[in-house]
Amino acid sequence: MKKWLQHPQSWAFVVALLTSLACALAIAATGGRQSSLVPMVFLPVVLAVGACTLEQTVFVGVLASAAYAVAVGFVQHSPTFDQQDVVRIVLLNVTSLTGAMFARRMRLDRDRWRSSAEEKEALLNASQIVASSDKLSSALDSVLLTVKNLVPRVHRAAVFLSDEKGHTMRLAALLGTDPEALRFERFSLRHRRGHWHPDDTQPYYVRDTQLAQDDRMAQLDPAARSVVCVGLRSLTVPIGMLFVSSTEPAGFSQESVRLLQALSDRIAFPLHKIRLQEGLEDLAFTDGMTGLYNYQSFKRHLHDELRRTIRYKRKLALLMLDLDDFKAVNDRYGHPAGNRVLIGVAEIIRHTVRETDLPARYGGEEFAIVCPETDGQEALNVAERIRAAVEASQFEVVPGEMVRITISIGVSSYPLDAVDETSLISAADTALYEAKARGKNRVVATSAAPLRVETAQG
């Protein structure tokens, strides 16, 4: 009952009913059928048409007619009512009801047409702004602003874009200034994160996230009670995802979901074009020789991932890798040959790590890998796969001549080995130096790790 009274239509219905009774009493008190207030019998119907549902309006019309008949009957002091009078007032009420409903339908159609025109204009403006943008960041900002203006009750909106190989989705833009508000900023596309995948052509609407606790996409925003995920497809190529959340259960109407789909359809192609123009990846964040992330990008990723890990009480691991006796390769074959070895090792690392890992060239012959959502044991497994793959490979340093090389790896993890970025790097470096001291070609975990594992060949 309390929830029913919170709805504006419910209050309008109550007011219309009370008005019916008040009008009947006023007519009865001023002469009944001869009262100058008889036209007031139509007032409740007019009020109901303006604010109530069709069923409520019909009920008000019937009640107003009955109340009028009762009022006239009491004034006439007759045990029976004048049937003609009752029929007359009922017909008049029906006529007024029909006219009022027709007027209301015209007003609703006009409002719907106006709303549709405004929505089309907003969608057109959004697509034109995106198409005219030369920067991906500004284009995405305009998309999120359009979402905020078009869709009611939006708590958070974000755009995720896939990498050039289509293996990983990463956060590209967020409505707000706190990226840590989301549980994760990247995820693998190799496996579904729940009941929906960005490749799906239909929008995904979770009306109540509390009923979808096992769905990672539904739980992306911790504060959300309802979410909508819409895939971004340029022609037939999936390029990303539009994510929108609300703090209310069933916070979005089907019309809002339709608008989000329409917006996605309009912006996907121009966004894809901008990405192609920018070379898909910002080269400022990659190492020019190996194609891995560079040192600056590594530091930024480590900072962001560790802050998120601390906030949500997750786990994170760091691998520091260094080629063994690399100076001997440079001294004997020259730096161009050494560069070919570095490129080959980088390829091994790139194909051995998981999609969510972040490999970087730390400097010289040293590499680093940030492993989100990873404990010490999982990190040791990743490190050992890399070590074994490097040892089993041969690298062509000059035409017709191959060399072998090994790699030493130190592993640290949060929260067991460190409290911040500096201590995490220091712990991994210490483990790396220990691996070198113990004979190289091995993986060593920090002493505080739950499982101290080292592996070596020979």
Known catalytic residues are 365
What is the distance of C-alpha 200 from the center of its chain? Answer: 15
- Residues 63, 1: Cα–Cα separation, whole Å: 22
Q: Return the closest-CA partner of residue 442 out of 379, 396, 388, 376.
A: 388
- CA angle (415 as vertex; 413, 420 as ends), nearest 5: 85
Residues 6+ apart with CB under 8 A from 52: 9, 12, 13, 16, 60
Running DSSP on this structure, what letter comes out for residue 224?
-
Burial group, residue 200, by CB count within 10 angstroms (0-12, 13-18, 19+):
middle
Q: 226-234 and 204-206 as β-strands: parallel, antiparallel, unpaired?
A: antiparallel
- Residues 253, 255: Cα–Cα separation, whole Å: 5
Q: Are 372 and 356 in contact (CB under 8 A)?
A: yes
How does 264-299 read in b/e, with b if 16+ C-beta sit within 10 Å?
bebbbbbbbebbeeeeeeeeeebbeebebbbeebbb
Count the Cβ atoms, other than its own, within 10 Å of residue 404: 11
Residue 176 backbone zone (phi > 0: left; psi -120 to 50: alpha; other: beta): left
**For the chain, how many helices (H) and strands (E)?**
12, 14
Partnered with residue 233 across adjacent β-strands are 238
Cα torsion at 317, 281, 240, 181 (round to 10°)? 50
Cα torsion at 389, 390, 394, 397 (round to 10°)? 150
Q: Return the closest-CA partner of residue 262 out of 89, 399, 59, 126.
A: 126
CA distances to 52, 105, 107, 306, 342 from 110, rounded to whole Å, are 18, 8, 5, 53, 68
CA distances to 69, 134, 239, 412 from 357, rounded to whole Å, are 80, 30, 20, 15
Q: Are 10 and 57 in contact (CB under 8 A)?
A: no
